Chain A
Amino acid sequence: MARFVVRRILSALALLFAVSVVVFGIFEIIPAYNPARAIAGRNASPTTVEEVSRKFGFDKPIYTQYLNTMKLIFTGQVIDYQDDLNVVDQFRERFGATLSLVIPAGLLWLVTAIVLGSISALKAGRLVDQGLMVLAIVGVSVPVFLLAFLLLYLLAFKTTIFPNTGYVGITVSPIQWAYHLILPWFSIAVLSVGFYSRILRSNLLDNINQDYVRTARAKGLPARQVFVRHVLRNSLMPIVTIFGLDFATLLGGAALVVETVFNIPGVGQYEAQAIGNLDVPPILVGSMLTAFFVVVFGALADLLYALLDPRVRLS
């Protein structure tokens, strides 16, 4: 266990380093990229731009710039170029909204995928299964922004069943919070439900003919118990791993499309704005945060996997 933790921490550090170097490097290659100009403003004189460049150290060699930026990030002093806001504070403030979006959405897609995947497997080849397969393909193929806009247009604009974008904190009003988030949750969940339910269906069908399932039936267990305790239990493992990774990227800001469309002040929305402005610090912090979550949730998924399957060892 100790070895497992140490190994994961080391790999997290390596990953953070690699991600930060790559993201930092990308902006050096972008031709039109001039952070000093962005900070000084569109109408600033060349001398002002030069001054800004010197003040922020943009004239220094790239590795010095990189080290300075890392220092600022890890001491929590880094600011974005667009609005002079402290990036770490921004992420901290916006994280609540992202959690509000991502945690229920994750639960929603996991539970729905397990239910639909199970129905598909139990009715394999029948009409229900084929119908669910079509829905899954639609769910996987429809672009998130299109789905989000369609939902908004139909359910918040044409008919005003749901509020037209916006976010209310859970501490302000739990009901308004949920009311505002139903469409965003749904938008995020649809893609994953399609994907997960298909994976689960094929796992279930692989397991349903296994010898130990026959044993479970031979023991006289009721059909429901055979399915839940033996077939489903043995089919969940692959789902656990991909869920950990998908959930991690969403926490790091991968919900940026949904956050932008529904105007939810989460980390994804902030990152989306930063990308539009070529604003390096938020993009850098966002990427590193995602990398960090991927490592942490990857490790959690492995732990859970080992709990679910005693044959798996952590070393």
Chain B
Amino acid sequence: MPEHLLDVENLQVSFATEDGLVRAVDEVSFTLDRGEVVAIVGESGSGKSVSVMTLMGLTRSPNSRFGGSARLKGRELISASEHELEGIRGKEIAMIFQDPISSLSPVHRIGDQIVEQIRAHEEISKAAAFDRAVELMERVGIPRAADRARSYPHEFSGGMRQRAMIAMALSLSPSVLIADEPTTALDVTIQAQILEEFKQLRATGDSGVIFVTHDLGVVADIADRVLVMYAGRVVEQGTLDQIFYDPQHPYTWGLLGSITRMDREPPRRLPAIPGLPPSMVNPPAGCHFRPRCPHEFARCAEVPALESRVPEAPGHSDRCWLELAEKRKRRVINGRIGLAEGTVIA
């Protein structure tokens, strides 16, 4: 079996809090290869950000516990020493964060912040690193980059800041690029431009991209494969087409049902998934989605394994006990995919 660029197996993250142990991430497994974009989708608090930050060791604290493994080109990340991780962060795995204004230091010049990252990993003069920072900024479409590198983050617009973040993340040509909701804080027009940057990056085939988002429109635009997370677990994973055209898990149906579509008559009210995500201290036994699921039945008290349940698509797996034929029947609501009749108020 050929080795993957990144191989995450059975990743578990929990945090000790005053209320008890919070299981933020439970048995998450996936792989990533060069030139591939894997999207992780789910509501806030579903564990998607914690999962990816854990890959870089950014969730380490006296109160956090980890299980499972994540191997980057065969090197174990979860048990790596802090020193070892310092060499990997920014160089092998780089990350782009959601809010570029709070994610850049307000008191350092943009160029210097990129220089800092380059010089953390390479023996190179400040001037040479600065030249490289300017080149990178040009590459991600920042006009007058040589001047702009001397500006501070507050002098940049939101879109330019996110470009600067991308330039920073790309500065050492990382093999894995993690983007944690990189377009959420931006206007749609800027969003489209930033997504264009990611597509170009994918086209080079040098890096693998993990794209964390709750925006299925963005996923449809950019992802090769999709992981749907709910309450710390992956409830479904597959290729883009499998997730969008043959979704197996009711939660995925709900997500797909709650987006508006240009090619259909818009509903009077957008359908929503009823209820709230469960407490992560005391998650419901069995399937975590059970309390919100209109299709729940006796078997759901037992945790469904994440496994392939569609015979013709072995790479497509999900955590739902329903029979395949039953799923395909139940997910169609008024000619489109949805969670259940009651949730689509047309």
B-contacting residues of A (Cβ < 8 Å)?
210-212, 214-223, 225, 229-230, 233-234, 308-311
Contacts and interface: CB of A to CB of B under 8 A. Distances in A.
A164 B145 CA distance: 64
B13 interface: no
B287 to A, nearest CB: 33
A312 to B, nearest CB: 10
A220 B120 contact: yes
18 contacts: A210-B102, A211-B99, A211-B103, A212-B102, A212-B104, A214-B58, A214-B103, A216-B116, A218-B90, A220-B85, A220-B89, A221-B117, A221-B120, A222-B86, A230-B105, A233-B107, A234-B106, A234-B107
A310 B89 contact: no
Given A215-B95, A217-B58, 15 more contacts: A210-B102, A211-B102, A215-B104, A215-B165, A217-B89, A218-B89, A218-B94, A218-B97, A219-B120, A220-B89, A220-B91, A220-B121, A221-B117, A223-B86, A233-B105
B39 interface: no
B88 interface: yes
A308 B105 CA distance: 12
A222 B106 CA distance: 20
A225 B94 CA distance: 18
A214 B105 contact: no
Contact of B154 (A211, A218, A229, A311): A311
Smallest CB-CB A-B distances: 7 pairs: A220-B90, A220-B89, A211-B102, A219-B117, A219-B90, A211-B103, A310-B152
B87 interface: yes
Given A211-B97, A311-B154, A220 B107 contact: no
A212 B113 CA distance: 10
Contacts of A212: 102-106
Nearest to B119: A221
A214 B87 contact: no
Interface of B: 56, 58, 82, 85-91, 94-95, 97, 99, 102-108, 116-117, 120-121, 152, 154, 165, 168
Contacts, number: 75
Contact of B105 (A216, A217, A220, A223): A216
A218 B102 CA distance: 14
B97 A215 contact: yes
B106 A219 contact: no
Contact of B86 (A211, A221, A308): A221
A34 to B, nearest CB: 57
Contacts of A218: 56, 58, 89-90, 94-95, 97
Contacts of B121: 220
A31 to B, nearest CB: 55
A225 B105 CA distance: 13
A215 B106 CA distance: 12
Given A214-B58, A218-B95, A220-B117, A310 B90 contact: no
Contacts of B94: 218-219
Contact of B87 (A217, A220, A233): A220
Interface hub of B103, B121, B165, B168 (most chain A Cβ within 10 A):
B103
B168 A219 contact: yes
A215 B103 contact: yes
A219 to B, nearest CB: 4
Contact of B82 (A210, A216, A223, A230): A223
B75 to A, nearest CB: 15
B116 A219 contact: yes
A310 B107 contact: yes
A217 to B, nearest CB: 6
Contact of A309 (B86, B88, B91, B106): B106
Nearest to A216: B105
A311 B121 CA distance: 29
A12 B85 CA distance: 54
Contacts of A309: 106-107
Contacts of A230: 105
A168 B282 CA distance: 71
A209 B160 CA distance: 24
B239 to A, nearest CB: 29
B87 to A, nearest CB: 7
A222 B85 CA distance: 10
Nearest to B154: A311
Contacts of A233: 105, 107
B113 to A, nearest CB: 8
A220 B104 contact: no
A215 B97 CA distance: 8
Contacts of A219: 89-90, 94, 116-117, 120, 168
Contact of A222 (B104, B105, B120, B165): B120
A229 B116 contact: yes
A148 B97 CA distance: 53
Contacts of B106: 212, 234, 309-311
Contacts of A308: 107
A255 to B, nearest CB: 33
Contacts of B104: 212, 215
Contacts of B102: 210-212
Contacts of A310: 106-107, 152, 154
Contacts of B117: 219-221
A220 B103 contact: no
A214 B108 CA distance: 15
B165 to A, nearest CB: 8
A103 B106 CA distance: 31
Contacts of B97: 211, 214-215, 218
B105 A215 contact: yes
A220 B88 contact: yes
Contacts of B89: 217-220
A114 B56 CA distance: 30
Contacts of B116: 216, 219, 221, 229
